[in-house]
Structure 1
Amino acid sequence: MSNINLIIAERAANIGKFMVGRLLPFRQKRMVGPFIYIDHMGPVKLSERDNFDVLPHPHIGLSTLTFLFEGSIMHRDTLGNEVEIKPNAINWMTAGKGIVHSERTPEYLRHSDKNMHGLQIWVALPKDIEQMEPEFFHIEQKQIPIWTEENLQFKLVAGEAFNRKSPVPVYSKLYMIEIKSLTKQVVNIGQHLYGESGLYILEGGIESEGNIFESKQMLIAKDSTLCEFTILENSTIYIFGGDPFPEERFIDWNFVATSKELIEQAKHKWQAQTFPKIKGDETEFIPYPSLNKK
Structure 2
Amino acid sequence: MSFFPGNDPQPGDFTAVDSIETLIIPRTSDIGGLEVRRALPTAKRRLVGPFIFFDRMGPAILRPTDALDVRPHPHIGLSTVTYLFDGNIRHRDSLGTEMVIRPGDVNLMTAGRGIVHSERSPEELRTQPLPISGLQTWLALPDHLEEIDPTFANTAAGELPVLREAGMEARVVMGTFHGAQSLVKQHAETLYVDIRLQPGAHIQIKADAAEERAIYTLDGPVEISGERFPADRLLAFRAGDEIVISAPQGAHFMLFGGATMPSKRYVWWNFVSSSKERIEQAKEEWRSGRFDIVPGDEEEFIPLPEN
* Kept in 2: contact 1:43–1:116 (CA 8 A): yes
Tell whether 2:254 aligns with 1:238: yes
Task: Determine the structure 2 residue equivalent to 1:127.
Answer: 143
Mean Cα deviation higher: 141-150 or 184-193: 184-193
One-letter amino acid of the counterpart of residue 72, structure 2: P
Aligned runs of 1:100-179 on 2, under 5 Å? Answer: 100-179=116-195
CA distance in 2, matches of 1:127, 1:13: 32
Query: Displacement, 1:15?
Result: 6.8
Aligned-CA RMSD value = 1.5
Unaligned runs of 5+ in 1: none
Of 242, 245, 250, the match for 1:226: 242
One-letter amino acid of the counterpart of residue 26, structure 1: T
- TM, length-normalised to structure 2: 0.91
Mean Cα deviation higher: 90-99 or 177-186: 177-186
One-letter amino acid of the counterpart of residue 146, structure 1: V
Task: Determine the structure 2 residue equivalent to 1:272.
Answer: 288
Of 189, 213, 220, the match for 1:197: 213
* Kept in 2: contact 1:247–1:258 (CA 8 A): yes
- Structure 2 counterpart SS, 1:207: strand
Of 188, 193, 199, the match for 1:183: 199
Unaligned runs of 5+ in 2: 1-16
Q: Which runs of 4+ in 1 moved over 6 A?
A: 14-17
Query: Displacement, 1:175?
Result: 0.3
Query: Displacement, 1:179?
Result: 1.3
- Structure 2 counterpart SS, 1:115: strand
Task: Determine the structure 1 residue equivalent to 2:89.
Answer: 73
CA distance in 2, matches of 1:64, 1:13: 20
Of 281, 284, 287, the match for 2:300: 284
Q: Deviations over 1:70-89 (max 9, x none)?
A: 11100000001000011111
CA distance in 1, matches of 2:32, 2:283: 19
Task: Determine the structure 1 residue equivalent to 2:273.
Answer: 257
One-letter amino acid of the counterpart of residue 104, structure 1: R
Query: Displacement, 1:246?
Result: 1.2
- Structure 2 counterpart SS, 1:122: strand
Query: Displacement, 1:164?
Result: 2.4
* Kept in 1: contact 2:163–2:180 (CA 8 A): no
CA distance in 1, matches of 2:197, 2:234: 18
Q: Deviations over 1:101-123 (max 9, x none)?
A: 00001011122211111000100
Mean Cα deviation higher: 206-215 or 255-264: 206-215
- Structure 1 counterpart SS, 2:65: coil
One-letter amino acid of the counterpart of residue 121, structure 1: T
Of 30, 44, 50, the match for 1:34: 50
Are residues 114 and 17 of structure 1, via their aligned partners in 2, closer, same or farther at CA, if it must alter by over 3 Å? closer
Are residues 116 and 99 of structure 1, via their aligned partners in 2, closer, same or farther at CA, if it must alter by over 3 Å? same
Matched length? 291
* Kept in 2: contact 1:161–1:192 (CA 8 A): no
One-letter amino acid of the counterpart of residue 186, structure 1: H
Q: Deviations over 1:215-240 (max 9, x none)?
A: 00011101254222322332111111
- TM, length-normalised to structure 1: 0.95
Query: Displacement, 1:167?
Result: 1.2
Query: Displacement, 1:17?
Result: 7.8
Of 107, 116, 119, the match for 1:91: 107
